[in-house]
A and B are shown apart, each in its own frame.
Chain A
Amino acid sequence: MSAEVITIILMTFIITLAHFCEVHGPSMIMCTQVVSSQDVPHDHYGSKISAGQLCESCQLSIPSNFTKEARVTGKQNSELTLRPSSPQTSKTSLSTGSESSKDMEQGADTSRIKLIEPSAIQTKSMTSDCIFISTQFPTSQARYSSLRHIIMRVFTIETSSDIDKPLLFGDRNTGYSMTLLFKLYDKTARGSERKYALIVTSDKEEEIFQNYSIILVNLTEIVKKISKRAVCNDERRARMDANSNEIYLRRSTNVPKPKGLAIIMDDAYFFVRLHLLFSLLLDQLK
């Protein structure tokens, strides 16, 4: 074999949002992968996890345009168009503002088009031909097994002296990861906090360490913004609850119950935004 032969190894990064569910333990909420332009994106969509299989804390909630959460206003609905792109695919487009979640209930109009609840979020890369796809679980069995193993390790084995500091670990069986944990205050959670982790995983040990600062800067910034917004939302809810006679001094208000991150963030499109944040990081890692 000639010494001049160059082995081209493509990078493989997966970014995962994991959660320590008080009911189900360590669980995977969303993972974002890079799909090359040569691959068929449909193969990575997976199937929608039906409601009831997962609790609200563990569920990846993707807003759909016929569900209650994703109903659009009359104005937005007027933009709803059906654009056949292929014999077997159909597209509808809409736009949403930052206040969309608050406007959802006003002038709601169920879509006249029968649509399937989406199981994936997709974005095109800004710098290349590849696309980024977020799903609840990866369709690849090998990746799913590795991610499950990694999430288990993050929440039950590894410890960190400072939650703001990243943790790097890996082996040749499951891949190599960099993790940043964060906690969100929620009085309806056990212990009044919900524990999450952002995990960047690669199957190449060298790549994780080579991109240490880029990953850390992005994860830190994402966690910082999420935590800040969660605190603002909690304070706003506390002010509202203080003026509400329905829940004032009621014991049921503090009973632990599952709650999704989208509700904590008070943004039905939170996971879409998180997908974009992960895509931004993947764009820098490619």
Chain B
Amino acid sequence: MLEDLFGIKAPSGGQNSTTKGIEPHPRNISHSPDHKFNVHSRCQTPSTSSHSSCCSSPGHSHVCRHATLPATISSLYSSDLGIPQPTFKVSDKMHCFRLVVLQDAGIRKKQTLFDSALGITGAAQNRPNSSMYQKLNKSLYHSMNELSTYMFGYYGILMSEAYGVTKMHYLPGLPSMPHSILVTRMFSLDSTFETTIPHNDHAASDWDPTPCENSADYPSNANNSTRFGIGFVIPAGNDFRSVEEEITDNWKEISHHIILVQKAIIKLLKKNYKPQTNRNHRTSKNAVYGYNSCPTVAAGNTLMTSRLSAFPPYFLQSNFELNHQFHSLVRCIQHLVDVPRLLIDLKESDQELIEWSSTVASWLELKDGSFTASDFPWPFEDRTSGLTSRSHLKFLASLIAVLLPERDSIFRTAASRKMKKSCRVVIVTGNPMVSEKLIFIIAGLLGYQRYIVHSKDMPTESTESIKAVRPSSGSSSSSSSISEETTHHIPVPSERKVGLPEPKTGLSVSFTHDKVMPISICSKASLSGISSESSTPSESSSVGSGIIIGKSFQPPSRVLPLISNSPTVNALSTVTAKRISIPRLRRESSYASLQNISSSYGGPHQSTYGSSSSWRSALNFGSFMEHWKLGGTKSRTTSVTSSPSRPEFPLGNDRTPSPMAEYNEFPWRSNVPGTPLSRTHTGNNSSSSSPHSSGLLFERPKFKGSSVFNKSLYPYDSRHKIHVPRTTTKLTGPSGRQLKFVRKSVSAILSDDLSLEYETVGDRLSVLIVNNPVPADPGASNADVISNKDAKLPPLVGYIDRYAPEFTLMSCPQTPNVNNSITESMYDDVYQMGHGSQSHTYVVNLRKER
């Protein structure tokens, strides 16, 4: 059986920065015995099926399922204009990606070892002497000579260098691909194929060139090395912003993948290298020959001659691993560009939070065996509050409590990597609708305050803590009873750590401590489910008495079902200044487990629907679910009147979109006219023409105070709609302003008067000091304008069709190899971050595993 909520902690990176030899593959890193989290057994099993899924052409990638209503779009992406679109949609040009591998075979000769444009079967057909020599589609692909000119240099002029060089060129336009970029990676190999991390000749205290990834790519015998080049052609848009969104913003990931390609090439060449001693046999075309291992012989023209016939053309063409790496790289770019990032304007006292929490909790309750008839009266007594379930709100609170200490790692990947720690949250589910609501809650509570700054007229108390305020009518006796209990405080790491540099890609909105939201969650100390054994308070600070969960919160060694008598809705509603500890997880109730939280109810996987237990039929839940699945065409009033005793979801659940109303396609993929998706992009999204959505109208909750994005740089509409200029990955508001600022400043500097001052130092030096203030931008100081750049959104996304290691919060379906993919990505994290690093992944499984 799957654990409901289990974490996987990768072992600390133990690879040593050896100065010689090929770096160990991430998979070779051994497990550390002191796992804090249990690792699911399947995560340790090498995947054998992962490769097979990557053989397809990138142009025919997986079909995705997605459930997004306009209301959901508005909530998840803060965009009332439909799903955010990238500046350049990569999925439309998947066939334009190309990977080539060339070998330097002399001044005017470059040997092609691999060309993805020819396909995996193109090796035999494209030998130079082959009668079936296949010509490339010139309207789509650049000639190899042209690419080699950019890769190896103008006129073949070579520099005596053996370092790994990275380049980015703009390629000339082609009829079918007007704009494209060539990313080049050059590296050298000698006959031993041994590489090291090179010594930097130019390093100094004030100048220490550092690549994105510290890989060993310097040949041990640089004087007798041969140059190889990896060229990766990426289609791009006309605007430089598309290049930025697609390539430069994701350079770290692209660079990492290209280095993986390089390692794969080195491995393949080394494997197939056959040292040759008899140089007379070099002209044979049926064997792979290397170079003479004797440096004294390999000099001058002799060496050049040997290099020419080193490896046969298209030697790597049919290699499986290289094709796999290529497709992984393309898929990575597609994910990073096309999948819209979340931007959740979740405010304190947000009714939407309450409603969606109630929805998710109800879902959990529905699938839980503890959902008995005795639990039903309560929600309907409190219908106006929109709160439903009791026990599973505790699950949400517990989940948030677990994730809160990790939010720095989840939101700030760049800073987290400098801290040598990465963290992901993966919600594995078969129901995108519920998972997106859960993601809304998690991401909203974890904090987008960095992007959303509330103005001063916001009530002061609301900026100090996250409050899920229950309407006054909903206050019950349980609320008051909780408030009398002893509370426990969980220290939450501040949003910005001292000494942590602001990531350059983000906004420079200063984050004062009064805007950092010390999220407090309270719980009853006497709650039976709470015990100090469930958490390990190491490295934690104690506030008052009670259970303290610090950064090193250690989940139970074995993840057990969450208890049913969790904090009630009132507990969540009073999270203002209280805290909740992680409940002790008990195994008494086999149904009180998220194992039973299947996606059967309304989810795309209907197989478990028919196998419902008797309690559901006894409570007439089947009819309710059918009603709900069909879109809730009946009004709630009618339903209650006709069957007052029949259990029904309260207000919050009525807003839960029916699966019939959900779209089953990823909205960021190509729009097909006539599909519901296309309707979301036109007209008023909040009033969809879908008949099923008539009862699902969604309005943004009324804002208690005005909210502004990014220091008033984004317009805020008084009609409580958010118009945030954004693409899939970033907020684009300030960039136009900065462009104007640059233009105005350059013109002024070139034409205005100068204020000069000469200063003499001693009797030898003199300096001209110029004081020329740049003309101020009206309405903002120079510093403000200068510091405001496009804000790149953190890699948090909604539901995607498969696990993507590029994101730190996502929801994906349960696939057979998801656990292996997660484990591999964690190894990769540790490998990238280096020695002493950690990678954490929290997997929330909402899908029943048979």
- What is A's interface to B at a CB cutoff of 8 Å? 1, 3-9, 11-12, 41-42, 45, 47-48, 62-65, 85, 88-98, 115-124, 126-127, 133, 140-143, 145-146, 149, 152-153, 156-162, 165-176, 203-207, 209-214, 216-218, 221-222, 225, 229, 269, 272-273, 275-277, 280, 283-284
Contacts and interface: CB of A to CB of B under 8 A. Distances in A.
A211 B766 contact: no
Nearest to A131: B769
A142 B202 contact: yes
Nearest to A145: B202
Contact of B768 (A118, A141, A229): A118
Interface of B: 149-150, 153-154, 157, 159, 161, 163-172, 198, 200-204, 206-212, 240-241, 243-244, 247-249, 251-252, 255, 415, 418-421, 497, 499-501, 504-505, 551, 735, 738-739, 742-743, 745-747, 749-774, 782-783, 786-787, 789-790, 835-838
B170 A272 contact: no
Nearest to A62: B768
A171 B161 CA distance: 10
A39 B681 CA distance: 55
A278 to B, nearest CB: 10
B726 to A, nearest CB: 16
Given A126-B773, A210-B251, A280-B746, A116 B763 contact: yes
A277 B695 CA distance: 58
A171 B163 contact: yes
18 contacts: A9-B501, A12-B206, A95-B755, A116-B760, A116-B764, A117-B766, A120-B768, A123-B771, A127-B787, A143-B207, A157-B154, A159-B149, A167-B168, A170-B165, A174-B202, A175-B207, A213-B248, A229-B750
A130 to B, nearest CB: 13
Given A169-B166, A173-B161, A214 B789 contact: yes
Contacts of B752: 98
Given A119-B767, A121-B770, A206-B252, A175 B209 contact: yes
A123 B790 contact: no
Contacts of B501: 8-9
A148 to B, nearest CB: 10
Given A172-B200, A173-B163, A173-B202, A45 B767 contact: yes
Contacts of B249: 209-210
Nearest to B504: A210
A94 B739 CA distance: 32
A93 B749 contact: no
Contact of A3 (B762, B789, B837): B837
Contact of B168 (A4, A156, A168, A175): A168
Nearest to B749: A276
Contacts of B762: 88-89
Contacts of B202: 142, 145-146, 149, 173-175
Contact of A203 (B165, B208, B754, B757): B208
A124 B774 CA distance: 12
A214 B505 CA distance: 11
Contacts of B499: 6, 8
Nearest to B497: A6
Contact of B765 (A116, A159, A167): A116
Given A92-B758, A126-B773, A229-B750, 8 more contacts: A89-B761, A90-B759, A118-B767, A121-B767, A206-B212, A272-B770, A273-B754, A280-B745
A159 B558 CA distance: 59
A169 B172 contact: no
Contact of B767 (A120, A170, A174): A120
A115 B758 CA distance: 9
Contacts of A149: 202
Contacts of A47: 764-765
A269 B247 CA distance: 38
B786 A284 contact: yes
Most buried by A among B167, B765, B783, B790: B765
Given A221-B743, A284-B786, A205 B210 contact: yes
A45 B761 contact: yes
B497 A94 contact: no
Contact of A209 (B248, B759, B765): B248
Q: Which 9 pairs from chain A and chain B are nearest by CB?
A: A142-B204, A212-B248, A209-B251, A165-B170, A116-B766, A168-B168, A161-B172, A157-B153, A159-B154
B761 A42 contact: yes
A65 B758 contact: yes
A91 B759 contact: yes
Contacts of A124: 771
Secondary structure of the A contact surface, majority rule: mixed
A173 B200 contact: yes
Contacts of A175: 202, 207, 209
A29 to B, nearest CB: 16
Contacts of A221: 742-743, 746
A258 to B, nearest CB: 23
A95 B754 contact: yes
Contacts of B782: 126-127
A280 B167 contact: no
A170 to B, nearest CB: 6
A217 B412 CA distance: 26
Nearest to B415: A6
Contacts of B153: 157-159
A116 B167 CA distance: 43
Contact of B167 (A3, A123, A168, A173): A168
A96 B772 CA distance: 11
A46 B249 CA distance: 37
Nearest to A226: B750
Contact of B209 (A85, A126, A176): A176
Nearest to B163: A171
Contacts of B206: 12, 140, 142-143
B760 A160 contact: no
Given A121-B767, A212-B244, A229-B750, A217 B742 contact: yes
Given A209-B248, A213-B241, A93 B758 contact: yes
Contacts of A5: 419-420
Contacts of B774: 126, 280
B749 A89 contact: no
Contacts of B248: 209-210, 212-213
A157 B789 CA distance: 33
Nearest to A97: B753
Contacts of B772: 123, 276
Contacts of B421: 3-4
Contacts of B551: 4
A122 B415 CA distance: 33
A229 to B, nearest CB: 7
Contacts of B169: 158, 160-161, 167
Contacts of A127: 782-783, 786-787
A94 B768 CA distance: 11
A11 B504 CA distance: 10
A206 B201 CA distance: 20
Given A96-B756, A115-B758, A122 B251 contact: no
Given A90-B760, A272-B768, A205 B166 contact: yes
Given A160-B169, A280-B746, A123 B770 contact: yes
A48 B501 CA distance: 37
Contact of B207 (A9, A142, A211): A142
Nearest to B183: A168
Contact of B504 (A93, A152, A211, A272): A211
A173 B198 contact: yes
B750 A174 contact: no
Given A117-B766, A124-B771, A280-B774, A225 B757 contact: no
Given A127-B786, A205-B211, A172 B198 contact: yes
A280 B749 contact: yes
A225 B753 contact: no
B418 A7 contact: yes
Contacts of B241: 213
A120 B752 CA distance: 21
